[in-house]
Amino acid sequence: MDAAFVIEKFILVAVIFGVSLLIAMYSTYAERKVAAFLQDRLGPDRAGPFGILQPLADGVKMFMKEEIVPATSNRWLFMVGPGLAMLTACIASAVIPWGSPIAIGDRVISLQVTDINVGVLYIFGVVSLGVYGVMIGGWASNNKYSLLSAIRAASQNISYEIAMGLSIIALLLLTNTLSLKEIVAQQHGWHWNVLYQPVGFLIFMVCAFAETNRAPFDLPECETELIGGYHTEYSSMKLGFYLFAEYINMFISSAVMATLYWGGYNYPGMDYVAATLGTTWAPLIGTAVFFLKIFAFIFFFMWVRWTIPRFRYDQLMNLGWKGLIPLAIANIIVTGVVIAIVEKF
């Protein structure tokens, strides 16, 4: 391992971290703008031109607010909660391939922090850790509403993780690998997995909504029933961390959906672009396409949030256990049978 490799990875990690935070920051702005446009309003437009500086103003506000730690809370866990939520949201980006390798001079730089051969499992592991931040925060608050919300979050995540895992199995039958890099490479051009696994993608997407606690599955923080849910007792930047973690989660799940099902950085006509622009600039265009897909998903997340009302708790459980899990299993069987038939003949 030479020094250049370490520096290269360090820069990549820093850039990805910075970009995730920046996108999460502007997701809060985009959320308010999208909500406004969908409701025939204008949204925030006072801070800077078109309200571009709104996230900064919000951030400053969060830092300046008084910080209150409830006297009866578990102080230590109360402080760990938001940090854990943030940490688990950030580390999932390590295995996502952000673009095909770039050749600068005679060095080939991989745009993926690490290509572990169980990348899909890593993401699942990290995403399921994400609920700990919510649970610990909700429990440590020593508040009925927070605890209820933490319990809801935990049971919701566990229920939907099963359907999510099952939907991925059907995908893995097709790809024969757990490495995200290879899964993306297999979707060269327009051979995107969503064309072969539309039902699997649908299940995965619904589960992603549930895992990120976004509407219509935002039961852990539903304002009307649980005040603020698990972050009822939180104030100042601790609250900011929780809200921020949700947007980073949204960004990461969009990236994972784009990687697994929508071809990552692949796009039709990429071979022609690669031939004309060379190996330095073509991968960057691929990365731009990848981010375009991510932004489309983030917009979809918001669009759905401002359209569909929240599910009732029993409806949520019904959908998860009686709807998505049997559907995912059926999807695995059909996929398996079709693959067996295609390989045989």
Contact residues: other proteins, CB under 8 A: 36-42, 45, 303-304, 306-308, 319
Across-strand partners of 108?
103
Q: How far is the CB of 307 from other proteins (least distance, A)?
A: 4
Q: How far is the CB of 165 from other proteins (least distance, A)?
A: 22
Contact indicator for 93, 255 with CB cutoff of 8 Å:
yes
Alpha helices in 108-222 (DSSP H): 119-140, 144-175, 180-186, 193-196, 198-211
Q: How far is the CB of 299 from other proteins (least distance, A)?
A: 10
Q: How far is the CB of 323 from other proteins (least distance, A)?
A: 8
Encoding tokens for residue 238? Answer: 């601790």
Contact indicator for 230, 153 with CB cutoff of 8 Å:
yes
Calpha distance 298→292 (Å, rounded)? 10
Q: How far is the CB of 297 from other proteins (least distance, A)?
A: 14
Closer residue to other proteins in complex, CB, 41/144: 41
Q: How far is the CB of 217 from other proteins (least distance, A)?
A: 12
Rg, C-alpha atoms of the chain: 21
Closer residue to other proteins in complex, CB, 45/67: 45
Closer residue to other proteins in complex, CB, 39/72: 39
Closer residue to other proteins in complex, CB, 178/199: 199
Contact indicator for 285, 309 with CB cutoff of 8 Å:
no
Angle between helices 75-91 and 119-140 (to 10 degrees): 160
Encoding tokens for residue 14? Answer: 């820093």
Closer residue to other proteins in complex, CB, 17/306: 306
Q: How far is the CB of 171 from other proteins (least distance, A)?
A: 21
Closer residue to other proteins in complex, CB, 45/271: 45
Contact indicator for 207, 216 with CB cutoff of 8 Å:
no
With residue 241 as reference, give the H or E element that holds it: helix 236-260
Closer residue to other proteins in complex, CB, 5/37: 37
Across-strand partners of 104?
107
Encoding tokens for residue 116? Answer: 């572990």
Q: How far is the CB of 65 from other proteins (least distance, A)?
A: 21
Closer residue to other proteins in complex, CB, 34/256: 34
107 phi, psi to nearest 5 deg? -100, 135
Contact indicator for 24, 294 with CB cutoff of 8 Å:
no
Calpha distance 264→100 (Å, rounded)? 10
Residue 40, number of CB atoms within 10 A of its CB: 6
Q: How far is the CB of 37 from other proteins (least distance, A)?
A: 5
Alpha helices in 306-345 (DSSP H): 313-317, 325-344
Closer residue to other proteins in complex, CB, 73/254: 254
Q: What are the CA-CA distances from residue 21 to residues 24, 48, 214 (Å)?
A: 5, 20, 19
